Every structure is written in C-alpha cells, then in structure tokens.
C-alpha cells in the first residue's frame, strides 16, 4: 500500500520537475512512511513520485518508481496484486519472464505489461490497485484503477496554454501542491455533498479535477491532451448479465465458501504483521472465521465499543472472537474520544465527506495500526448479498403502494406534507415517542410520504439514499451534476427491485462512500486495509446467484450466512443489524453546539458565498428546538464548512 503522485507538462514549463513532485509527495507522506522515490524525464516533461508502505518484498528490490526489464515502461503502483505469483508462473511458462530481481508484485506487474500490455495484464490481475504507467516509447501516460474502486486516483488538467499540466495523485492534497493547480470549487459538487454526503463518480470538489472510475484506464499524452477513457471491467454489466443455471443451495454455499477461502488466503499474503477488523456482524465475522480456519496461529482481531448500548457491538465481536480463538483487542471509546477526531477530518478527507461513521472507522484503524500493518475487513458484503434494511423497506413499500395509482399517491402525500412536521410531532408524539437521536414522528411521516410520491424504483432508491432531498435550495446558482442514480442509469437487465438497488449501491455508494471512508481512515495511520469480499471473482459469482439466495424469507445475506454458520454458531450472529453509527444529532445540540454555531453563523455563510444563510439557519434553529432532527443534513454542511476553513489556512 502506497501513495502515488505526478504530472505531465511541456518540458520546462514549470522549471525543474523534481522539486514539484517532491512537494506533491510530501502532502501524502502518511500513505507511505517506509521509503520514497521519484523519476523525472525532463525532455518529456513527466515526473512520477511514489511513497511506500512496504508489505511485500521489504528489500530495495521493491522500490518504486520501477523501470521494466525492457526499459520501455516506468511504473508507480499503489495496492496489491494477490495472484502475482501465479502471473509470474504464467510468464515463466511462456518464456516471457525477465530475470527476476526481487519478489515484489510491482515487478510482476511490470513484467506482465512488457509481455501482454497494460489492459491484458490488468484483466489477469486479482487485486486492488491504482496505477500510473509512463510509456517511454510512445510518450503516453496511463492511469488505471482496480475493478471495484478500493484504491483512489484523482487526475485533471490545470493551467492554460503552454503552462498546462496534467496532474494526478492518490489524494487531492497532492494535486493541490502543484503550482498549476487553480483551486476553484465546483459548486455542483457542493450540492452533491449535501445530497449524498460525498462527491461521487468521476468528479471532485475542485473544478477540472476528476477520479479514475473503477475498472477504468485513462490515457493522455502531450499531443493528445483529451483524456481517453476505457473500461476493462464493467461492474454494471456484470450485475445485469443474465444469470447462469441455478445451483442447488448446497452447491451455492460450497462454491462461495471455496471462493472466499481462496480470496482470504491470497489476501493474507504479507511480509508484515496482519490482522482483521471484527464488528461481530455477518461480513467481518465471515472474513475472520475463514482467516482463522486458514491460520495455524490466532488471528489478531480488532473492534471498538461504545458505552451507549444502542451503538455498541463490541460484546458480539468479543463472543465471536472467543469462539474462533482469535487474539482479540478492543477499545471502548467515549463521546469525547469520538468528538476529538472531528478537527482532523478535513485533513483526512481532503474534500468534504460527511458519513459520520468516518469517526469510529478512523479510531478502529488507529487501534489496529498499533499492532499490525495490514487489516482485512468485511466491506462489500451489504452491496453483494443484500445487507441494507432499505432494500427490504423499499420492496415492502412498493408492494403496499402497487395498487394505489400514482396520481392518488402523490395527492395524498401532498396533503400530509401540507401539515407542518412540527405540528404532527406535537399531536402524535404521545403515541409515537422519538427514540434518542432519531427523527421525531412528524419528520418521519414527511419522509415516508416523500417516498410514496416517487414514480418508480430508481427514483425511490435515489430518495432513500439522499440526505438532503432538495439540496439545490441551499447552494444558490448550483445544480447537481448528472449522475448514474438519476440521469445515466446503468442497464438493469432482468434484475428485480432488490438487486437493482444493490447494483446501484455497488456502483455509487460503496465506491464513493464506504471505500473512500476506509481508504482515508486507514491510510491516515499507514494501515493497509483489504476486502476479500471484493475479490472480483467473488463479486461475479455473487451476481450470478438468484435473488432468493441473498434475501430469503426476510433474512438478508442468506448464502453468506450459511458459509459463516459452518464456522460460527448461528446464535452468536442472529440479531438486528446495527451499523457504525454515532449520535451526530445529539452532539450538535450538546458538546458540538458552539463549534456548529460558529461554522453556521449567517454572516460567515453570507461572506463565504457557498450556502444560502437563511436556509441553513432555519434548519439549525429547528434542530436546536428539539422538534426536528436535522443532524445528518447539518453534518453535510459542517463538513463543507470545516473543509473550507482548512483549505484557507
């Protein structure tokens, strides 16, 4: 695991390349504390920088940037190729292997590129990665990202005319260090942060800077400045592909277990200490159980606990760890511990990011890093095996409303929404008291009737995953950019309603929220996180299973649970899903009240010009009254404001 950064510009346009790429690397030094290297070709105007977190082949033979045996290609690479020994064997058998200098997967990747080309090599790879490859012969720069988007890679042209520069890096803060960087905020991306809590797809918070998408190769040269984008793997198409003949239940469970054992076994490959995150839920328990099955010593597992019972899963993780015999480490954190992380968030997530579970995610990463350098996780299980409650909620809601004509539904919803939410709460709260930290009944009713107004499944799904339902109202003069959840919907094929929502979440929420959150939290402490459930062979197999092997008789993740129950007793797992939740709404009225008030001060908002002060202040005052819980909505605004404050220091 590492950090990469670099640029391509006209020779001499910005003076010597080395000091510039050195500054870019310094901005992301946390991603690679073990060594750093750079390679510059002044005649071509290209500079590549690499920061190394050494995991495989700790010797200098794994140092990057690395030049291929042919001398044609120069590579910087962030990630792991889990099947690289198999690729070496294939190259050896074909007589196309170089004289190996070391045992790193970087050298294997370069040898494959020399032999087969970049795309054919990536198609052979099982792994997570972000790659920058300079072709010295064709003077062409290629950027590529793994199939599911575990590793990040930003890029874009900045500057004008002869001084234009194509910048790239693992994190935005690296690009910000180049003198060509303009630093103009993309207001449409601010709208997107309010709606979804993050900037999605191929965009960033900065105008002109985007992201390589999962499974994509982006190619550029001094002569062809318009980046050429090409997919070597398409998750949308994988999900929508007609399913193969149905397996029996036993065959499906056997094959999934075999695939997972292989994926977990490959991802346990490491020359440094390795462990796993364990929440006690289905996904992480499955990964840890299979790790322990494959290991001849106790696996080191990690969890954090909360003193508030409704947020605490630590006792369940402890029970699973005891059954499996892992070496288990847990840390109980207080509200103060959680809140103390907040000032660090703008630096960790160097564009606005507002999934509040980013806070405990960072704390468990910090806990693990004190003991290991690599940690496996259960990320991906919800999107692949139907884990989110909203899938079942949406299916039930659509079934209940199916017999009611849309115009009648919309009229009824309009009538209910015409009643103020606060008034509804006052009338109904004696019958429907508000659980601590949750929405009052009037607010919940307004949200539910808004769901009922949606004309189709895709619109319902988009509404359910939206934090702000009408974010444009808060960002004057801006609109949300077109996206795959509304404007460029991917092919659905024969997917049913539940699997359609899973497909959309795999392409959007998982990549731009879950995996972004985990990458920044872990890399901030130089910890490599690996996700065996996102091995693309597991992903493709999961999409080939019928929907009822994922959601059966109201039970989510049915087939994955059957694998887990071969290793862990059912009674240790069966309980309601909790998630990594923190009480943001309560904090904003309590310990974070002064901080929030300062960031949301109407005069400040008016001066900065991003938000409509009246809209934001109305939500803030309603939240303070206790009649509404706008915690998540305000958190999105606060993360923009805190980020803006950090960028102006």
Best CA proximity match to 229, nearest among 197, 201, 264: 201
Q: What are residue 78's DSSP bridge partners?
A: 130
Q: Of all residues in the chain, what percent carry a pLDDT higher than 90?
A: 80
79 annotated as a binding-site residue: no
**648 class by beta-carbon count within 10 Å (0-12 exposed, 13-18 middle, 19+ buried):** exposed
Inter-residue contact 551 to 561 (CB < 8 Å): no
Give residues with Cβ within 8 angstroms of 29, minimum separation 6.
3, 36, 51
Residue 370 has pLDDT above 80, yes or no: yes
Query: Dihedral, CA atoms, 400, 404, 405, 407, nearest 10 degrees?
Result: -90
pLDDT at 111: 98
Inter-residue contact 216 to 641 (CB < 8 Å): no
Residue 310 has pLDDT above 90, yes or no: no
Segment 444-466 mean pLDDT: 89
The phi, psi pair for 500, rounded to 5°, reads: -65, -45
Fold of 239-386+501-571: Rossmann fold (3.40.50)
* Low-confidence winner among 62-66, 363-367, 442-446, 611-615 (lowest mean pLDDT): 442-446
Inter-residue contact 29 to 172 (CB < 8 Å): no
Of the residues 2, 40, 125, 176, only one is catalytic, namely: 2
pLDDT at 56: 66
What are the CA-CA distances from residue 29 to residues 17, 370, 526 (Å)? 18, 18, 9
Pairwise CA distance, residues 112 & 98, whole Å: 10
Query: Dihedral, CA atoms, 97, 103, 104, 109, nearest 10 degrees?
Result: 10
| pLDDT tens digit sequence for 285-302 | 999 999 999 999 999 999
Q: Any idea where the domains of the chain sit in the sequence?
A: 2-233, 239-386+501-571, 583-649
Residue 419 has pLDDT above 80, yes or no: no
Residue 217 has pLDDT above 90, yes or no: yes
Please give the span between the terminal C-alpha atoms of the chain, in angstroms, as a whole number.
29
Q: How confident is the model at residue 78 (pLDDT cuts 50, 70, 90)?
A: very high
Q: How confident is the model at residue 619 (pLDDT cuts 50, 70, 90)?
A: very high
377 annotated as a binding-site residue: yes
**272 class by beta-carbon count within 10 Å (0-12 exposed, 13-18 middle, 19+ buried):** middle
> Considering only the top CATH level, what class is 2-233?
alpha beta
pLDDT at 436: 66
Inter-residue contact 489 to 458 (CB < 8 Å): yes
The phi, psi pair for 626, rounded to 5°, reads: 85, -10
Inter-residue contact 425 to 441 (CB < 8 Å): yes
Residue 29 has pLDDT above 80, yes or no: yes
386 is catalytic: no
**484 class by beta-carbon count within 10 Å (0-12 exposed, 13-18 middle, 19+ buried):** middle
| pLDDT tens digit sequence for 488-505 | 999 999 999 999 999 999
**Helix/strand/coil (H/E/C) assignment for every residue in 249-276:** HHHHHHHHHHHHHHHHHHHCCCCCCEEE
Residue 418 has pLDDT above 90, yes or no: no
Q: Quote the Cα angle for 372-376-379, to 5°.
A: 145
Question: How many C-beta neighbours within 10 Å does residue 145 have?
Answer: 28
| pLDDT tens digit sequence for 573-605 | 987 766 667 889 999 999 999 999 999 999 999
**419 class by beta-carbon count within 10 Å (0-12 exposed, 13-18 middle, 19+ buried):** middle
* Low-confidence winner among 2-16, 49-63, 216-230, 249-263 (lowest mean pLDDT): 49-63
304 annotated as a binding-site residue: yes
- Look at 396 and 581; give whichever has higher pLDDT: 396
| Strand pairing category for 73-81 and 127-135 | antiparallel
Q: How far is CA 628 from the centre of its chain?
A: 30
pLDDT at 1: 60
Best CA proximity match to 215, nearest among 202, 201, 234, 200: 234
Four-residue CA torsion sign, 310, 313, 318, 319: positive
pLDDT at 579: 62
Give residues with Cβ within 8 angstroms of 115, minimum separation 6.
91, 94, 96, 97, 121
* Low-confidence winner among 112-126, 439-453, 596-610 (lowest mean pLDDT): 439-453
Four-residue CA torsion sign, 215, 231, 56, 134: negative
Which H or E run includes 145? Answer: strand 140-145
Q: Of all residues in the chain, what percent carry a pLDDT higher than 70?
A: 98
Pairwise CA distance, residues 48 & 64, whole Å: 9
- Look at 575 and 68; give whichever has higher pLDDT: 68
Inter-residue contact 2 to 32 (CB < 8 Å): yes
Average pLDDT, the chain: 93
Q: Quote the DSSP letter at residue 142.
A: E
Q: How far is CA 592 from the centre of its chain?
A: 26
Segment 63-70 mean pLDDT: 95
Inter-residue contact 64 to 51 (CB < 8 Å): no
Q: How far is CA 84 from the centre of its chain?
A: 25
**Helix/strand/coil (H/E/C) assignment for every residue in 406-424:** HHHHHHHHHHHHCCCHHHH
């Amino acid at each position: 695991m590492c950090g990469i950064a670099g640029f391509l510009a006209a020779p001499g346009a910005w003076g010597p390349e080395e000091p510039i790429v050195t500054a870019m690397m310094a901005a992301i030094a946390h991603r690679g504390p073990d060594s750093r290297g750079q390679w510059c070709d002044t005649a071509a105007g290209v500079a590549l920088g690499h920061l190394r977190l050494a995991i495989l082949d700790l010797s200098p033979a794994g140092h990057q940037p690395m030049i291929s045996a042919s001398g044609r290609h120069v590579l910087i690479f962030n990630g792991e190729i889990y099947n690289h020994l198999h690729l070496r064997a294939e190259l050896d058998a074909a007589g196309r292997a170089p004289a190996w200098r070391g045992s790193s997967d970087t050298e294997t990747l370069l040898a494959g590129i020399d032999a087969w080309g970049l795309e054919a090599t990536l198609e052979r790879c099982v792994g997570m990665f972000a790659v920058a490859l300079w072709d010295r012969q064709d003077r062409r720069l290629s950027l590529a990202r793994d199939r599911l988007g575990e590793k990040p890679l930003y890029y874009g042209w900045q500057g004008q005319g002869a001084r234009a520069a194509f910048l790239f890096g693992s994190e935005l803060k690296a690009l910000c260090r180049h003198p060509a960087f303009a630093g103009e905020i993309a207001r449409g991306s601010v709208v997107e942060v309010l709606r979804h809590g993050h900037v999605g797809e191929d965009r960033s918070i900065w105008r002109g800077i985007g992201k390589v998408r999962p499974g994509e190769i982006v190619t550029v040269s001094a002569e062809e400045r318009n980046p050429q984008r090409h997919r070597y793997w398409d998750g949308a198409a994988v999900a929508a592909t007609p399913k193969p003949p149905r397996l029996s239940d036993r065959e499906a469970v056997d094959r999934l277990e075999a695939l997972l054992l292989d994926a977990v076994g490959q991802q346990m490959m490491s020359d440094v200490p390795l462990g796993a995150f364990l929440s006690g839920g289905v996904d992480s328990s499955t990964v840890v159980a299979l790790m322990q099955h494959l290991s001849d010593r106790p696996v080191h597992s990690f969890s954090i606990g909360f003193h508030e019972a409704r947020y605490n899963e630590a006792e369940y993780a402890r029970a699973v760890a005891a059954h499996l015999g892992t070496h288990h480490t847990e840390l109980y954190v207080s509200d103060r511990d959680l809140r103390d992380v907040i000032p660090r968030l703008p630096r960790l997530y160097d564009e606005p990011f507002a999934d509040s579970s980013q806070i405990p995610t960072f704390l468990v990463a910090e806990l693990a890093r004190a003991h290991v350098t690599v940690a496996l996780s259960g990320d991906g299980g919800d999107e692949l095996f139907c884990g989110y409650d909203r899938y079942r909620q949406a299916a039930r809601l659509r079934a209940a409303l199916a017999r009611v004509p849309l115009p009648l539904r919309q009229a009824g919803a309009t009538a209910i929404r015409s009643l103020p939410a606060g008034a509804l709460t006052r009338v109904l709260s004696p019958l429907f008291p508000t659980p601590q930290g949750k929405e009052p009944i009037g607010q919940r009713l307004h949200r539910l009737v808004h769901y009922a107004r949606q004309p189709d499944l895709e619109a319902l799904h988009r509404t359910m995953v939206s934090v702000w339902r009408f974010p444009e109202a808060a960002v004057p003069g801006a609109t949300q950019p077109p996206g795959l959840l509304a404007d460029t919907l991917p092919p659905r094929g024969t997917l049913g309603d539940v699997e359609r929502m899973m497909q959309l979440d795999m392409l959007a929420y998982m990549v731009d929220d879950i995996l972004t959150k985990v990458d920044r939290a872990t890399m901030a402490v130089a910890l490599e996180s690996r996700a065996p459930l996102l091995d693309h062979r597991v992903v493709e197999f999961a999409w080939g299973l019928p929907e009822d092997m994922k959601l059966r008789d109201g039970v989510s993740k049915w087939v994955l649970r059957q694998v887990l129950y071969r290793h862990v007793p059912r009674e240790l797992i069966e309980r309601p899903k909790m998630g990594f939740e923190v009480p943001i709404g309560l904090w904003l009225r309590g310990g974070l009240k002064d901080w929030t008030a300062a960031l949301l001060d109407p005069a400040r908002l008016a001066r900065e010009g991003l938000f409509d002060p009246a809209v934001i202040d109305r939500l803030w005052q309603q939240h303070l009254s206790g009649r509404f819980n706008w915690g998540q909505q305000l958190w999105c605004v606060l993360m923009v404001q805190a980020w803006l404050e950090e960028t102006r220091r």
